[in-house]
Chain A
Amino acid sequence: MYRTFLSWRYLFARTTNLIGMVGILVAVGALILIFSIMTGFLEESRRAVRGNLADILVEPFFDEAYSGIALPTTPERALAVIEAHPGVRAAAPMITWHALFTQGGSQKGRFNKFISDASHSGMLGVKVVGIDVRSAERVAQPAFAGTAALLGMTYRPYVVRDHFAASDLLRALLRPAVKPLPGLSGDEAVAQPLFPFATPAEASDKARRARLGSILVGARFFDQLGLRKGDVVQLATVSPVSSDEQFTIVNREFVISGVFSSGENESDLGQVYIERSQLQDLVGTEQAFSQILVRLENYDADGPAVAADLRTSLANAGLIVGLPQEVRTWEDFRGNLLGAIKNERVLMAIMLSLVLMVAGFTIFAILSMMVTEKRRDIGILSALGATRSGILSTFLLVAFWDALIGSVFGATIGVIMALKIDPLERWLSGYTERWFGKQIFDRDVYLFDHIPAIVDPVAVAAFVTLAFVCTLGFAFFPAWRAARQNPLEGLRYE
Chain B
Amino acid sequence: MSDADAHGALARTTPFRPVLSAVGIRKSFAMGDRRIEILHGIDFELGAGELVALVGSSGAGKSTLLHILGLIDQPTEGKVLVAGMDAWAESEAERAELRNHHMGFVFQFYHLLPELTALENVLLPVMISHSRWQYRRRAAEWRDKALSLLERFGMVDRRDHRPSQLSGGERQRVAMARALVQDPKILLADEPTGNLDSATGDRVLDLLFQEQARRGLSMILVTHDATLAARCQRTVYMGDGLVQGDSTTPVPV
Which residues of chain A from 403 to 422 have any CB-CB distance to chain B below 8 Å in the complex?
none
Given contacts A386-B96, A388-B92, whether A1 and B131 have CB atoms under 8 Å apart is yes
Given contacts A376-B111, A377-B113, whether A385 and B128 have CB atoms under 8 Å apart is yes
Alpha-carbon separation in the docked complex, A61 to B19 (Å):
101
Residues of A near B134 (CB, < 8 A) are 1
Alpha-carbon separation in the docked complex, A492 to B67 (Å):
10
Residues of B near A2 (CB, < 8 A) are 124, 127-128
Q: A5 contacts B127, CB within 8 Å? A: yes
Interface residue from A10, A384, A487 paired with B128 (Cβ < 8 Å): A384
Q: B99 contacts A1, CB within 8 Å? A: no
Interface residue from B73, B98, B115, B132 paired with A4 (Cβ < 8 Å): B132
Residues of B near A377 (CB, < 8 A) are 113
Residues of B near A492 (CB, < 8 A) are 63
Q: B135 contacts A494, CB within 8 Å? A: no
Interface residue from A10, A376, A384 paired with B100 (Cβ < 8 Å): A384
Given contacts A487-B72, A488-B67, whether A385 and B129 have CB atoms under 8 Å apart is yes
Interface residue from A10, A383, A390 paired with B72 (Cβ < 8 Å): A383
Query: Contact string, A199-237, partner B, CB cutoff 8 A, digits 1/0?
Result: 000000000000000000000000000000000000000
Q: B72 contacts A382, CB within 8 Å? A: yes
Q: B111 contacts A9, CB within 8 Å? A: no
Which one, B36-44, B46-54, B101-109, is touching chain A? Answer: B101-109
Total number of A residues with any Cβ neighbor in B under 8 Å: 28
CB nearest to A380 among chain B residues:
B111
Residues of B near A6 (CB, < 8 A) are 113, 115-116, 127
Confirm or deny: A66 has a beta carbon within 8 angstroms of a beta carbon on chain B. no
Main secondary structure of the interface of A (DSSP, over half): helix
Confirm or deny: B97 has a beta carbon within 8 angstroms of a beta carbon on chain A. yes
Confirm or deny: B70 has a beta carbon within 8 angstroms of a beta carbon on chain A. yes
> What distance in Å separates the Cβ of B41 from its nearest Cβ neighbour in chain A?
21
> What distance in Å separates the Cβ of A316 from its nearest Cβ neighbour in chain B?
70
Which residues of chain B from 63 to 88 have any CB-CB distance to chain A below 8 Å in the complex?
63, 67, 70, 72-73
Query: Contact string, B106-144, partner A, CB cutoff 8 A, digits 1/0?
Result: 010101110110000000110111111011000000000
Residues of A near B100 (CB, < 8 A) are 384-385
Alpha-carbon separation in the docked complex, A493 to B99 (Å):
20
Alpha-carbon separation in the docked complex, A218 to B53 (Å):
102
Q: B72 contacts A385, CB within 8 Å? A: no
> What distance in Å separates the Cβ of B217 from its nearest Cβ neighbour in chain A?
17
Q: A387 contacts B73, CB within 8 Å? A: no
Confirm or deny: B93 has a beta carbon within 8 angstroms of a beta carbon on chain A. yes
Confirm or deny: A381 has a beta carbon within 8 angstroms of a beta carbon on chain B. yes
Query: Contact string, A1-45, partner B, CB cutoff 8 A, digits 1/0?
Result: 110111001100110000000000000000000000000000000
Confirm or deny: A365 has a beta carbon within 8 angstroms of a beta carbon on chain B. no
Residues of A near B72 (CB, < 8 A) are 379, 382-383, 487-488, 491
Alpha-carbon separation in the docked complex, A173 to B128 (Å):
71
Given contacts A377-B113, A386-B96, whether A491 and B132 have CB atoms under 8 Å apart is no
Given contacts A383-B72, A384-B99, whether A390 and B128 have CB atoms under 8 Å apart is yes
CB nearest to B91 among chain A residues:
A387
Which residues of chain B from 200 to 221 have any CB-CB distance to chain A below 8 Å in the complex?
none
Alpha-carbon separation in the docked complex, A382 to B103 (Å):
12
Interface residue from A9, A387, A488, A493 paired with B93 (Cβ < 8 Å): A387
Residues of B near A387 (CB, < 8 A) are 92-93, 96
Alpha-carbon separation in the docked complex, A377 to B92 (Å):
19
Alpha-carbon separation in the docked complex, A487 to B67 (Å):
10
Alpha-carbon separation in the docked complex, A388 to B91 (Å):
12
Given contacts A1-B127, A379-B111, A494-B109, whether A385 and B116 have CB atoms under 8 Å apart is no
CB nearest to B97 among chain A residues:
A385
Residues of A near B96 (CB, < 8 A) are 382, 385-387, 390
Alpha-carbon separation in the docked complex, A390 to B124 (Å):
13
Alpha-carbon separation in the docked complex, A379 to B98 (Å):
16
Residues of A near B111 (CB, < 8 A) are 376, 379-380, 383, 491
Alpha-carbon separation in the docked complex, A13 to B114 (Å):
10
Given contacts A488-B73, A491-B107, whether A386 and B128 have CB atoms under 8 Å apart is yes
Query: Contact string, A479-492, partner B, CB cutoff 8 A, digits 1/0?
Result: 00000000110011
CB nearest to A5 among chain B residues:
B127
Alpha-carbon separation in the docked complex, A382 to B72 (Å):
8
Alpha-carbon separation in the docked complex, A457 to B72 (Å):
50
Residues of B near A1 (CB, < 8 A) are 127-128, 130-132, 134-135
> What distance in Å separates the Cβ of B62 from its nearest Cβ neighbour in chain A?
13
Alpha-carbon separation in the docked complex, A458 to B116 (Å):
41
Alpha-carbon separation in the docked complex, A14 to B92 (Å):
30
- Closest 8 pairs between A and B when the two form their complex, measured CB to CB: A385-B100, A2-B127, A13-B115, A1-B135, A494-B109, A385-B99, A1-B127, A1-B132
A interface, CB within 8 angstroms of B = 1-2, 4-6, 9-10, 13-14, 376-377, 379-388, 390, 487-488, 491-494
B interface, CB within 8 angstroms of A = 63, 67, 70, 72-73, 92-93, 96-101, 105, 107, 109, 111-113, 115-116, 124-125, 127-132, 134-135, 178, 195
Known: A2-B128, A382-B72, A385-B101. 14 other contacts (CB 8 A): A2-B124, A6-B115, A6-B127, A9-B116, A380-B111, A383-B105, A384-B105, A384-B128, A385-B97, A385-B99, A385-B125, A386-B128, A387-B92, A488-B67
* A–B Cβ pairs within 8 angstroms, 5 of them: A383-B70, A384-B105, A384-B124, A385-B128, A386-B96
